Amino acid sequence: MKTVKERRCQAGVALVIVLWLLVLLSVMAFGFSRSMRSGVRIGLHRLEALQATELARAAIHKGLYDLLTMPPGQRYRLLLPGREQRFTLDGAELAYRIEDERGKVDLNRAPAELIGGLLGSLELPPERTASLSDAILDWRDSDDARRLNGAEGADYAAAGRPGLPPDRPFPSVQELQQVLGMDDLLYRRLLPLVTVHGIDGRINPLTAPRQVLLAIPEADPADVDEAVAQRGTASTGDPAPPLASLAGLGRWLARASGPVYTVTGRARLPSGAVTHRRMVIWLGGRGGGRGYRVLDWFPRGSWEPRREGE
Gap between the Cα atoms of 54 and 60, Å rounded = 10
The pLDDT, as a whole number, for residue 302 is 36
The pLDDT, as a whole number, for residue 193 is 96
The pLDDT, as a whole number, for residue 240 is 76
CATH of 60-103+257-307, one of 3.30.1300, 1.10.10, 2.40.440, 3.30.300: 3.30.1300
Gap between the Cα atoms of 105 and 107, Å rounded = 6
Range(s) within the chain of domains with CATH label 1.10.40.60: 105-184
User: What's the pTM?
Assistant: 0.79
Gap between the Cα atoms of 143 and 153, Å rounded = 11
Range(s) within the chain of domains with CATH label 3.30.1300: 60-103+257-307
The pLDDT, as a whole number, for residue 165 is 96
Gap between the Cα atoms of 146 and 168, Å rounded = 14
Gap between the Cα atoms of 21 and 14, Å rounded = 10
| Spatial contact of 277 and 298, defined as CB atoms under 8 Å apart | yes
Q: For the chain, what percentages of helix, strand and coil (3-state, to nearest 5) are there?
A: 50, 15, 35
The pLDDT, as a whole number, for residue 12 is 67
Q: How many CB atoms lie within 10 A of CB 12?
A: 10
CA end-to-end span of the chain: 73
The pLDDT, as a whole number, for residue 96 is 96
| Spatial contact of 279 and 60, defined as CB atoms under 8 Å apart | yes
Q: Which residues of the chain have pLDDT under 70?
A: 1-13, 32-33, 35-44, 234-238, 285-290, 300-310
Distance of CA 165 to the CA centre of its chain: 24
What fold characterizes domain 105-184?
Ribonucleotide Reductase Protein R1; domain 1 (1.10.40)
Strands 273-284 and 260-268: antiparallel
What is the tens place of the pLDDT at every residue in 157-212? 999 999 999 999 999 999 999 999 999 999 999 999 999 998 889 999 999 999 99
State the angle between helix axes of 126-140 and 112-121 in degrees (0 to 180), rounded to the nearest 10: 140
CA neighbor of 79 nearest in space, from 246, 219, 252, 254 = 254
The pLDDT, as a whole number, for residue 202 is 94
